[in-house]
Amino acid sequence: MIEDFGSYETWEKDFKGVAMMRGIGWTVLYEDHQANKLINFWINEHDGGHPCGCIPVLVLDVFEHAFMTDYGLKRGDYIEAFFKNIDWKAAEKRVK
């Protein structure tokens, strides 16, 4: 992350920004094997829009069904809770 984003904090700010800027879908941290780097990306549908050659490392569901029951319209609070519960060891295993 430091190599591709400059710092963890810069990556986190970018990832959260992607999660907050759109309507429904997923925010994904991918490992791009062709460019040999990590990228944050928005996808709207689970079956389309994924960048070719990229492996999902971390996925945040920002469809309303993921947070409305517990957080109402407070998407930001849901995203903060998501970050408190990331299993980084599991995510790191996805990086080649």
CATH code of 2-93, in short, is: 3.55.40.20
Q: How many CA atoms lie within 13 A of 96 on its CB side?
A: 11
Distance CA 81, CA 13 (A): 15
23 token code pair: 């309507």
pTM (2 decimals)?
0.91
Check if the beta carbon of residue 38 is closer than 8 Å to that of residue 8.
no
- Tens-of-pLDDT digits for all 96 residues of the chain? 999 999 999 999 999 999 998 688 999 999 999 999 999 999 987 777 889 989 999 999 999 899 999 999 999 999 999 999 999 999 999 998
